Amino acid sequence: MAAAQTTPRTVTQEDIDAGQKALQSALTSGAAAKSTAGADFRGRTAAQDIADWTMQPAVKQRLDELIGEQDATARGAAITILADQMRRIVLINHYWNTWPLLKRERDLWDKWVQLVLPQTSATDSVQRVKAREAEFAKTYVPGTDPAVLDADMQSLLTLYNRERLSISKDANAKLAAAPGGMQSRTRQTPCPTDTPSSGSDGAAGASDSSSSHAARVTQTPSLAAYYPDEARRSASTGRVLLRLDIDETGCARNFQVVESTGDPLLDDAALRYAEAMRFRPATADGKPKHSSPELPVKFALAD
């Protein structure tokens, strides 16, 4: 028995009108039309992408001709053009909606590159980023599969983050030598009044002994609760190394970034996270003492 065939639905003028309305809305109300971000790394603006990739004069003219013919074949061809133009503007809107995240990570990377130049680590990083951006510019075209575009944009986010961290050693050396180059924080919440006298979850310094030991962590909050949403959305990661100022009662009163991630949001989050921790004070000969241990705080997307 032969398989039943489905007769294509006839395209009506109402379909054409709805298609034109939806396209116009996407062109004027989407992320690209509202973008004020200026040019991206391709040197192109959202307005240029819209003008060059959608509803160009020849396309408009052909669409008007088909609509004016008022027959089923012409309307079918017109709806095909409208669908193609809609795919293009959806792709453009998606890119420019994501561009602020890409720009954030690129700017963080570029800030450290400028700090480190002309050292080899920075020039090598620039070459790697420029090569990948050139590849992206060739694949981000009107006919790009949205899934491919998503993967490429995620790849760029990962690249900017990785390249920023690749020059962290040289950048941190520059920051450490500059007055006020590292973030710090003075305690802004009351010291804990119930500092534990025994037990620990980990060490924030040297090894323990029967009469002397380093300050020890007794309570830690969830690091995930401190991971900034903006940093997480842009796939920003990194390790912050802090130096703490812990007094004889076990209260951490001051917090200093010793090694930065290059992302101020992550550095600030690490400082606030450390303030929420609790400690046992260091001891010497069985007596509490002031100490300045270092504490690593690592932000990863799994947090």
pLDDT in tens, the chain (303 residues): 455 555 457 888 898 999 999 999 999 999 999 999 899 999 999 999 999 999 999 999 999 999 999 888 999 999 999 999 999 999 999 999 999 999 999 999 999 999 999 999 999 999 999 999 999 999 999 989 999 999 999 999 999 999 999 999 999 999 999 888 899 999 999 998 865 544 444 445 444 445 788 989 999 999 999 999 999 999 999 999 999 999 999 999 999 999 999 999 999 999 999 999 999 999 998 899 999 999 999 999 986
Structure tokens at 219: 């309570």
182-299: CATH topology is: TolA/TonB C-terminal domain (3.30.2420)
Could you tell me if 172 and 116 are in contact, meaning their C-beta atoms sit under 8 angstroms apart? no
Residue 25 CA to its chain's centroid (Å): 28
Residue 189 CA to its chain's centroid (Å): 29
pTM of the model: 0.86
**Domain boundary assignment for the chain:** 13-169, 182-299
Could you tell me if 227 and 300 are in contact, meaning their C-beta atoms sit under 8 angstroms apart? no
3-state secondary structure of 58: helix
3-state secondary structure of 241: strand
How many Å apart are CA 297 and CA 266, to the nearest integer?
A: 9
How many Å apart are CA 244 and CA 265, to the nearest integer?
A: 19
Q: What are the φ and ψ backbone dihedral angles of 230, each rounded to 5 degrees?
A: -65, -40
